[in-house]
Chains A and B, each alone.
Chain A
Amino acid sequence: MSDSVFEKPSRRSFLKLGGVAIGGLALAACTGGTSGSSTSSSAAGASSAAGGASSGAAAVTMLGVGNNGQVGTGRSGTSGDTLFICGHQWGPPANFNPLSPTAAWPATGNNNQYIYETPLRWNILTGEIMPGLCKAYTVDGLTITLTMQDGVTFSDGSACTAKDVAGTFNLGKRNEGLSIASFFSDAVSIEATDDKTVVVEVSDVTKNTAQVLRNLCENYVLPMAVFDAIADDALPTEQMDNPIGTGPFPLSKADATQVIMQRNDNYWGQTFYGSLPCFSQLIHPIFNTNDDSQIKFQNGEIDVAQAFFAQIWKMWENGEPVGTFLKDKPYFVPGSMPMLLMNTTKPGLDNPVVRRAIATAIDYAAISDTAMSGYSGEVQPSLIMPSGAEEKYFNASDAAANGWKYDAAAAEKLLTDAGATKGSDGIYVLDGTRLGPWSMITPTGWTDWEAACEIVANSLKAIGIDCSTNFPQQADCTNDIQGGTFDMACWYVSGVNPATPWARFKDVMSQSEMKPVGTTTFANYGRWTNDTVEALLTEASSAADDTAKKAAYDKLDALYRSEVPACPLMYRPDEFFEYNATNFYNFPDEDNAYAPPMLRGAGNTWLFKLQKVAG
Chain B
Amino acid sequence: MSDTLAPAPDQPKAAGRSALRSLNFTPRFWVSIVLIVLVALFAFVGDMLYPYGSNQRVGSLFDEPTPQHILGTDNFGYDVVALLMASTRNSLYNGLLAGTIATFLGVFIGILAGYIGGWFEEFLMGVTNIVLAIPAIVVLILISVSIQGTNLQFLKGIIGMSLVIGFTSWPWTARSVRAQASSVATREHIDVAKLSGARTFGILLRDVLPYLASYVVMAWVLQVASAILAESTLSMLGLGPSGTASLGVELHWALAFNAVANRAWWAFLPPTAVLTIISFALLYLQSSLDEVFNPRLRRGKKKNLAKAAERRAEAARRLAAEIEAEVAP
Binding site for B on A (CB under 8 A): 36, 290-291, 294-295, 309-311, 314, 363, 366, 369-371, 373-374, 437-439, 444-445, 447, 450-451, 454-455, 457-458, 461, 466, 468-472, 487
- Residue from the set B76, B242, B253, B258 with the largest chain A CB neighbour count within 10 Å: B258
Residue of B nearest to A309 (CB): B258
Give the residue name and chain of the A residue nearest to B151 (CB): A437
Chain B interface residues (CB < 8 Å from chain A): 55, 57, 60-62, 75-77, 145, 148-149, 151, 153, 156, 238, 242-243, 253, 256-258, 260-263
Q: How far is the CA of A455 from the CA of B156 in the complex (A)?
A: 17
B149/A370 in contact, CB under 8 A: no
Closest to A473 in B: B145
What is the bound-complex CA distance between A397 and B205, given in angstroms?
77
**Of A450, A458, A468, most B-chain CB atoms within 10 Å:** A468
Q: How far apart are A64's CB and chain B's nearest CB, in angstroms?
A: 25
Give the dominant DSSP class at B's interface: loop
Minimal Cβ-Cβ distance residue in B for A308: B258
Does A444 contact B238, Cβ atoms closer than 8 Å?
A: yes
Given A470-B148, A470-B149; 8 other pairs, CB 8 A cutoff: A369-B60, A370-B77, A371-B75, A450-B238, A457-B242, A468-B153, A471-B148, A472-B145
Contact of B60 among A294, A370, A447, A454 (CB under 8 A): A370
Asked whether, in the complex, the Cβ of A370 is within 8 Å of the Cβ of B61, the reply is yes
Smallest distance from the beta carbon of A474 to chain B beta carbons, Å?
A: 13
Does B261 lie within 8 Å of A461, measured CB to CB? no
| A374 CB contacts on chain B under 8 angstroms | 60-61
Residues of B within 8 A of A454 (CB): 76, 243
In the complex where A310-B262, A366-B77, A444-B238 touch, is A468 in contact with B61 (Cβ < 8 A)?
no
Give the Cβ gap from B240 to chain A, nearest Cβ, in Å: 10
Q: Kindly state the separation between the CA atoms of A470 and B60 in the bound complex, as whole angstroms.
A: 24
Closest CB in chain A relative to B57 CB, distance in Å:
6
CB neighbours of A470 from chain B (8 A): 148-149, 156, 242
Residues of B near A472 (CB, < 8 A) are: 145, 148-149
What's the Cα separation between A283 and B76 when bound, in Å? 35
Write out the residue numbers on chain B whose beta carbons fall within 8 Å of the beta carbon of A310. 61-62, 75, 257-258, 262
The answer for the CA separation of A445 and B257 in the assembled complex, in Å, is 11
A439→B77 contact, CB < 8 A = no
The answer to whether A290 touches B153, judged by C-beta atoms less than 8 angstroms apart, is no
A470 to B147, CA, bound (A): 10
Q: Which residues of B contact A311 (CB under 8 A)?
A: 61-62, 262
Contact of A291 among B61, B62, B258 (CB under 8 A): B258
Contact status A447-B242, CB under 8 Å: no
Contact B61 A294 (CB under 8 A): no
Q: Give the residues in chain A near B77, CB-CB below 8 Å.
A: 366, 369-370
Q: In angstroms, how far is the closest chain B Cβ from the Cβ of A200?
A: 45
The chain B residue with its CB closest to the CB of A425 is B153
CB <8 Å contact, B261 and A295: yes
> Which residues of A sit under 8 angstroms from B263, Cβ to Cβ?
36
- 15 interchain pairs (CB within 8 A)? A370-B61, A374-B60, A437-B151, A438-B151, A444-B238, A451-B75, A457-B243, A461-B243, A468-B153, A469-B242, A470-B148, A471-B148, A472-B145, A472-B148, A487-B151
Min CB–CB distance B278 → chain A (angstroms): 25
Contacts of B238 in A (CB 8 A): 444-445, 450, 471
Q: How far is the CB of B256 from chain A (nearest CB, A)?
A: 4
Q: CB distance B57 to A447 under 8 Å?
A: no
Say which residue of B75, B151, B243 sits within 8 Å of A370 (CB atoms). Answer: B75
Residues on A with C-beta less than 8 A from B151 are 437-439, 487
Residues of A within 8 A of B57 (CB): 363, 366, 370
Which of A310, A314, A450, A458 gathers most chain B CB within 10 Å?
A310
A366 to B256 Cα, complex, angstroms: 17
- A295, B259: Cα distance in complex, Å: 12
In the complex, the chain B residue whose C-beta lies closest to that of A37 is: B263
| A468→B243 contact, CB < 8 A | yes
Q: Closest residue to B156 on the A side, CB-wise?
A: A468
Contacts of A369 in B (CB 8 A): 60-61, 77
Complex: how many Å from CA A74 to CA B213? 71
